[in-house]
Amino acid sequence: MKVEALQYGDRRVYSVASFNRGVADWLTRLPTVWVEGEVTELRRHERWQSVFFTLKDPSDGACLGVTILRSRFDALRLELVDGDRVHVLGRPDLYEAKGDFRLRALSIERWGLGDHLAALERLKRKLAEEGLFAPERKRALPRMPRRIGLVTGNDAAAKRDVLTTITTRFPAARVLVAEAYVQGPLAAQAIIDALGELCEAPDIDVVVLARGGGSFEDLLPFSDERLVRAVASCPVPIVSAVGHEQDTPLCDLAADVRASTPTAAGRLVVPDAAEVRERLDRSRGGLERGARASFDRARQRLDQRHERLRRAPALLVERKRARLEHAAGRLRALSPRSTLERGYAIVRGNAGIVRTTAAVTPGDALDVQVADGRFGARAE
C-alpha cells in the first residue's frame, strides 16, 4: 500500500499507519547485520510460529528485541537460556501495527563464554559416547597406597592443602610431587607430561590431580580433550580435585574418583592413622579372644578324649567278658554234657558210637555214658 500524507494547508501530515509503513519499507532496504548481546526474556511456545527474546548489552543495559522463526530456531539446536552471549545475524524490522522495532534474526551463534560452553558440551557428549565416563570403568582406590603421586601447580594452595591433609591423617605416607602449569595454553600438555612421569615412578598406587578454584577460563585446560583422554587411560587410579564444588571440568568425569576440594582429595587417598590403630586394636582383641576360645575348646576336647581313653580299657574288658560269657553259654548249650543232663545217653559199641540199630548185633557188649557216669550193657 502506497504511503501518502494528508495535506493541511502547507503542512503534510502522515497517519500513524502510514508513518509506520513508510519506516518499515525503508528498513527493508537496509542490509543484514551481526549484533552481539546477552540473551534475556527468551520466550518459545509450541503454538507460536516465532521465538522471541531480547538482546541486552551488558556494558550499558541497552536492549533490542529479536524474533526468529521457531523452525529455524529449533534447527540451530543451541538450547539457549537467559544469560547466554550470542551473535545474531538479522535485518531491522518494524511491526507496523504496534510500531515495535525488532531485529528479525536469520541465524544465531554462541559467542565468548557461551561458545566455549557449547564446544565443551559437544566434547562431553562425544567422550561419553566413547565410554570414557562410564561408571563400570572406575577403579577403586587402594586402602594403603605405597606411594602417592600429586600433580599440581608450583607453590599452589592446592598443593599445600593436599600435603597437609595427607601428612596429618597418615604421617607415614610417601608423596611424590610433580609440578606443572595449571593455567594457560601450555597447561594441558604440561599436566599430561607430569602424569606420565609419575606413572613411570616406582610404587605409585594412586595419583591426585589438584588445582584450586578459578574462573571458567582458568579451568579450561582441565577440559582439554588430550588431558581428559590421558586421565582416562592412566594405569593407576586418579583422584581429580580441580576447582570448587560447583566446578566440573571434564577431567573430573574421566577420573576414577572426583573430590570436591584438594583437602577432600587428601582424605580420600590415605586412611586416618588413628582410625587404623583403633581398628588394629579391635582386631588384636578379637584375635586374642578368638585364640583363647579356640584354646579352651581344644582343651575341653582333650579332656573329653583323655577321659574316654582312661575308661576305654575297662569298657573293652567288659565288652570282651560279655562276649566271652555269651560264647561260653552257647558252648555249654551245645556241649554233649548238657545233652546228657537233659536225660540222653551216649552208647558206644565195638565200632564206636552207636547211631543206628544196625550197628549192633545181639550179644554185643555196650558202653553207656550218662550225665553222672557210665555203665556197661549187652545188646539183646
Q: pLDDT tens, 339-377? A: 777 778 888 888 888 888 888 888 888 888 888 888 888
Q: Are 159 and 265 in contact (CB under 8 A)?
A: no
| Per-residue pLDDT tens over the stretch 197-240 | 999 999 999 999 999 877 777 788 898 999 999 999 999 999 99
| Per-residue pLDDT tens over the stretch 8-23 | 878 888 888 888 888 8
Domain boundary assignment for the chain: 6-111, 120-271, 274-333, 337-378
Q: ∠ at Cα 256 (229, 210), nearest 5°?
A: 80
| Per-residue pLDDT tens over the stretch 241-295 | 987 777 788 999 999 999 988 899 999 999 999 998 998 999 999 999 999 999 9
| Per-residue pLDDT tens over the stretch 133-182 | 999 999 999 999 999 999 998 766 888 999 999 999 999 999 999 999 98
d(CA 84, CA 53): 12
**The dihedral sign for the CA sequence 233, 234, 239, 241:** negative
Q: Thinking of the domain 120-271, which architecture would CATH place it in?
A: 3-Layer(aba) Sandwich (3.40)
Strand partners, 40: 54
Please identify which residue in the block is written with the cell numbers 613411570.
200
Q: What is the pLDDT of residue 297?
A: 92
- Assigned CATH class of 6-111: mainly beta
d(CA 128, CA 254): 9
Percent of the chain residues past pLDDT 70, beyond the cut: 97
Q: ∠ at Cα 240 (237, 243), nearest 5°?
A: 175
* Cell triple for 301: 576336647
d(CA 252, CA 132): 11
Q: What is the pTM of this model?
A: 0.52
The CB density around residue 47, as the number of other CB atoms within 10 Å, is: 5
